Amino acid sequence: MHEYTINKCAEMLERDRASVARALRNVPPDAGTPKRPLYRLATVTKALTAHHAKPDGRRGNGDDARLTAARAELAREQTAAVALKNAVARGEYVPLAAIQKSAEAIFATFRERVLTIPGKTAALCEGRSRAEIEEIVRGEVYECLDELSGVKTVGESRGDDIGEVGNEAVEVD
């Protein structure tokens, strides 16, 4: 059997000298002197394996595993961020404030218009038959719905309900 210096073992095993020296810290040399200890490759290999083993028998450096997991998580986050940015640029997402303003405009118009129906139809329905009253009320409801469908909303374009919203939302009356 051949014995080698720590430097030669590190070179032969393609490891850095510091990690080989750390692994051999509590391992007695196979030969040599205290100033120049010599080790067999088998001894160095066992020491390196034991040095990198976890108490539960797993292998590998925990820091490397955590770093790899962190890099993978960062890559996932960056991918998601770019996907969201692209979706926003394509107009697939609308700012929540624009939706809220649009909903408020629609409901305010609806409330105002529906509350006028009883007063408007009451005088017209006096002394009429059920069929005539039904026709009058239905006509008012249709008129209300037509008016509601024409309500302009924030960021509306080309007749869409919400439409595409650019960088700024502007309410159109």
Residues 66 and 109 in one domain: no
For residue 50, count other CB atoms closer than 10 A to its CB: 11
Judge whether 1 lies within some domain.
Answer: no
Judge whether 101 lies within some domain.
Answer: yes
Residues 66 and 45 in one domain: no
Separation CA 53–CA 60 (nearest Å): 6
Q: Hey, what are 108's tokens?
A: 């305010």
Range of the domain at 30: 6-52
Residues 83 and 148 in one domain: no
Q: What is the CA radius of gyration of the chain?
A: 39
Residues 83 and 143 in one domain: no
- Cut 0.85: pTM above it: no
pLDDT band at residue 63, thresholds of 50, 70 and 90?
A: low
Separation CA 67–CA 77 (nearest Å): 15
Is there a contact between 166 and 155 (Cβ–Cβ < 8 Å)?
yes
Residues 130 and 164 in one domain: yes
Separation CA 84–CA 77 (nearest Å): 10
> pLDDT tens digits, residue range 135-164?
999 998 888 888 877 766 655 554 444 444
Q: Average pLDDT of 105-117?
A: 87
Is there a contact between 101 and 168 (Cβ–Cβ < 8 Å)?
no
Judge whether 105 lies within some domain.
Answer: yes
Residues 31 and 76 in one domain: no
Average model confidence (pLDDT) across the chain: 80
> pLDDT tens digits, residue range 10-54?
999 888 899 899 889 888 888 888 888 898 998 998 988 887 755
Is pLDDT above 60 for 108?
A: yes
